[in-house]
Amino acid sequence: MAKKKKKESHEDCGYEVDSINNVYMFHNIKTNVHLFINAIDLEDAMTQFDLCDFAFRKEWKVFLETGHQPS
């Protein structure tokens, strides 16, 4: 039997999400390559990015997409 996902609520906006999971986009400004990483927080995203061992780290910018975007 599949487990049910626990719903969590954001106290500040009351928005419910299945889990706290954010998408971090790493954009290489020189080659225009985009790398998307699912992570719990920035530290987790950076750890996963470091595992890729890309050269020229200064060419990468980090963007965040959260589960609840402002409208």
- What confidence tens digit (pLDDT) does each residue in 11-68 have? 555 545 555 678 999 999 999 999 999 998 899 999 999 999 998 989 999 998 766 6
Residue 54 lies in a domain: yes
Note the pLDDT of residue 21.
Answer: 75
Quote the domain boundaries for residue 52: 40-71
What tokens appear for 38 in the block? Answer: 């699912």
How many angstroms separate the CA atoms of 23 and 40, rounded?
9
The model scores a pTM over 0.75: no
Give the chain's domain count.
Answer: 1
Residue 23 lies in a domain: no
The 10 Å CB-count burial string (b at 16+, else e) for 15-53 is eeeeeeebebebeeeeeeeeeebebeeeeebeeebeeee
How many angstroms separate the CA atoms of 70 and 30, rounded?
29
Residue 15 lies in a domain: no
Note the pLDDT of residue 46.
Answer: 93
